[in-house]
Structure 1
Amino acid sequence: MSFARPLLTASVIALTASVAHAEKIRVAGNFATEHSSSLAMVKFEEELERLSGGEIEVDIFPAQQLGGAAENVQAVKVGAIELMWVGTAYLTRTVPELEIIGLPFQFPDRETAFEIVDGPVGAALDEKMAEAGMTSLGYMELGFRQLTNNARAIETVGDIEGLKIRLQPNETHLATFRALGANPVAMDVKELYSALEQGVIDGQENPFAIINVAGYAEVQKYVSNTGHFFDFISVVGNKKWADGLDDDTRAMVSEAMNTAIAYQRELAAEQDAAGLAILEEKGMTYTPVSPALAAELRAKTAGVAADTKARLDPELVQLLDTETAKSGM
């Protein structure tokens, strides 16, 4: 059994049956409490407790309360916690096929990105996650990732060369920055602030909203709108737990999560739009990426997407190409 694909159905039939027995769902995340995804999980909690008449209790643990992102992935895999929301890149070492939605300069806008993950490509990736013992409940927005550093403003590709940049543990992401001449370092987010503060690394890359709520403006000087990846947040459950839910409970969990994801996507867009101005107010120096630099960044990383596709399931690659063609990309 599986959960309904989020946002693909108009509604879930109203439930009148009681939950067979009280459920308690623990949900872990590494995002700050004020981030849109954490606020969305509070929405999920409220909706599920409302739908179940209080018979399903949800405990939310944001801001790394139950460990970092990598630890949360392992906890869900073994069933120590039921659910998590995590940057999709943290799942790529367990499900490498997820790299297919993390290619450099892949999506022109957030609408196109969600067309892909809400459609056949997302469904195929859900099957891959199920094979790894996890159940996908949908995708929230992490957003376009932007580069910050403490060394210099980014005005040319040469300005990126030699920078020690923290990235998520995603092979495609790491290869992208190697192609740009940087020295990328895979690092869990729980270690990032102190590494920046102590000068262990020069910079990092995250959406404007994350840079803001995580306080990186306190330990970074320069920011640019490189937009090199569009990133997702996966909502993932332990498959054994999910498969053990009765039909009524599964339907309520799905409806509540659909509501939470729709809420998060709207709020994420708002937070992202406001994020850059806040970073400038906090003292960061903003250097916009020129059209010439954007073209050069794309040219330097063009081979990375081809290399990633070459090592993934050819049927999945063909499906992605078919769906992106439909989107006019």
Structure 2
Amino acid sequence: MKALLPLIASSAIALSVAAADAKDLIRVAGNFAAEHASSLAMAKFEAELERLSGGEIDVNVFPAQQLGGAAENVQAVKIGAIELMWVGTAYLTRTVPELEVVGLPFQFQSREQAFAIVDGPVGAALDAKLAKEGMTSMGYMELGFRHLTNNVRPIRTIDDIAGLKIRLQPNETHLATFRALGANPVAMDVKELYSALEQNVIDGQENPFAIINVAGYAEVQKNISNTGHFFDFISVAANKKWFDGLDAGKQAMVREAMATAVAYQRELAAEQDAAGLATLVGKGMVFTEVSPELAAALREKTAGVAAETKARLDPDLVTLLDAETAKLGM
């Protein structure tokens, strides 16, 4: 990773030459496909911020791993090689472990519950943790409910999960959840995932329907089930030193443009998710619906993971989470 950072920094510097006449340049990196809701939202951010600033702020958006994988983008923002990124929140948990508090198995029953938590006091507390690591939070987009795919067998019982080699994001709670289900989880950057599936290095993966679709995983995966085991977020984060160096007016414009983009993304993500499964089945994937019995068994088998995760996090944050979830009747 350290060997890659100079390359990222050099690339970012080279990219800035084309915009040398701009008063301010914001390079925005992401690993999501260009047609994903989050990438489309960043295009909206670009247009909105350039409009608000009267062209004084130039935004260059680089989706689809153009400036490296997710883990590389996190490091590049931390050191200031690029100004801003949008990345699956799980990729930040090794820098800010407290983010795992919003990634517990079967934590949310709806996207509305999920956003009520990250848009409230819990989200504010997590933003403070990010700030201590040199990053300014710009909001949370929807990655969505995650579902399991594999090339070995349909998932009808917990026993069908046992022994499967499943790629997961580098999140300790996610990994522990699949260990509890008897799988062999493997932490892997998304940039390596397609080829690993294609070459049968791993048996399967888990992602929201929309990601499975736009990433082309239907080409290399056969079975899909609506397990919905996590609800996942996309963190939008800036290098704190860079953002703090902007004058108050430009900071306000950046935040206003991003708020517009985040709201747009959440709406579009819900639409893409609703259409995603039908599209995947149309591409040849075999859908096996999770029965009420299997859903109950999955929850029971992973119940201890949430408690173990909470036990190793900031107790004040856990208390705050419990209070906020109680207000929502969760």
Q: TM-score, normalised by structure 2?
A: 0.93
Structure 2: which 5+ runs fail to align? 1-21
- 1:221 is aligned to 222
Alignment partner, residue 314 of structure 2: 313
Cα distance in 2, alignment partners of residues 29 and 302 from structure 1: 33
Could you say which residue in structure 2 is the equivalent of 1:82?
A: 83
Cα-Cα RMSD: 0.5
CA-to-aligned-CA distance 1:48-67 (integer Å, 9 cap, x gap): 00000111000000000000
Answer yes or no: is 1:245 the counterpart of 2:249.
no
- Distance across 2 between alignment mates of 1:88 and 1:121: 14
Distance 1:292 1:277 in 2: 24
Give the whole-Å Cα distance in 1 for the aligned partners of 2:323 and 2:148. 31
Structure with more of its chain in helix, by fraction:
2
2:29 aligned residue = 28
Q: Which residue is equivalent to 1:280?
A: 281
- Secondary structure of the corresponding residue to residue 152 of structure 2: coil
**What residue is the counterpart of 1:191 in the other structure?**
192
Partner of 2:209: 208
Aligned to 2:19: none
In structure 1, C-alpha distance between the alignment counterparts of 2:326 and 2:257, rounded to whole Å:
32
Partner of 1:7: none
Runs of 4+ in structure 1 off by over 2 angstroms are none
The correspondence of residues 77-116 of structure 1 with structure 2, limited to 5 A, is 77-116=78-117
- The one-letter amino acid of 2:301's match is K
1:160 — aligned with what?
A: 161
SS across alignment from 1:294 = helix
SS for the counterpart of 2:232 is strand
In the alignment, the residues of structure 2 paired with residue 309 and residue 324 of structure 1 have an alpha-carbon distance, to the nearest angstrom, of 14
Q: 1:57 corresponds to which letter in structure 2?
A: D
* Letter matched to residue 279 of structure 2: I
Counterpart in the other structure of 2:58: 57
The secondary structure found in structure 2 opposite 1:85 is strand
Pair 1:132 & 2:133 matched: yes
Q: Distance in 2 between matches of 1:174 and 1:133?
A: 26
TM-score when normalising by structure 1: 0.94
Q: Which residue of structure 2 lines up, in the alignment, with residue 233 of structure 1?
A: 234
**Aligned counterpart, 2:178:** 177
Equivalent residue letter for 1:102: G
Q: Secondary structure at the match of 2:140?
A: strand
User: Could you tell me how far 1:170 is from its partner in structure 2?
Assistant: 0.1
2:41 aligned partner = 40
Q: In 2, Cα distance between the equivalents of 1:285 and 1:95?
A: 37
Amino acid at match of 1:126: D
User: Where does the alignment leave 5 or more consecutive residues of structure 1 unmatched?
Assistant: 1-20
Distance (Å, rounded) in 2 between the aligned partners of 1:41 and 1:22:
20
Greater relative contact order (Cα < 8 A, sep 6+): 1
SS in 2 for 1:53: coil
Letter matched to residue 77 of structure 1: K
- Offset of residue 236 of structure 1: 0.4
**Whole-Å Cα distance in 2 between the matches of residues 288 and 131 of structure 1?**
43
1:13 paired residue number: none
CA distance in 2, matches of 1:205, 1:263: 25
Measured in 2, the distance between the counterparts of 1:66 and 1:247 equals 28
1:171-216 deviation digits (Å, cap 9, x = unpaired): 0000000000000000000000000000000000000000000000
Distance in 2, matches of 1:242 and 1:46, equals 19
- C-alpha displacement at 1:161, in angstroms? 0.1
1:228 aligned counterpart, secondary structure: coil
Matched residue SS, 2:238: strand
What is the aligned-residue identity percentage? 82
Alpha-carbon distance in 2 for matches of 1:133, 1:24: 19
Quote the offset at 1:22 in angstroms: 1.6
1:258 maps to which residue? 259
**2: CA distance, partners of 1:250 / 1:135:** 11
Q: 1:84-127, CA deviations, whole angstroms, 9 ceiling, x for partnerless residues? A: 00000000000000000000000010000000000000000000
How many residue pairs match? The answer is 309
**In 1: Cα distance, 2:201 partner to 2:37 partner:** 29
1:231 is aligned with what amino acid? D
**CA apart distance, 1:253:** 0.2
For residues 195 and 82 of structure 2, what CA distance do their matches in structure 1 show?
A: 27
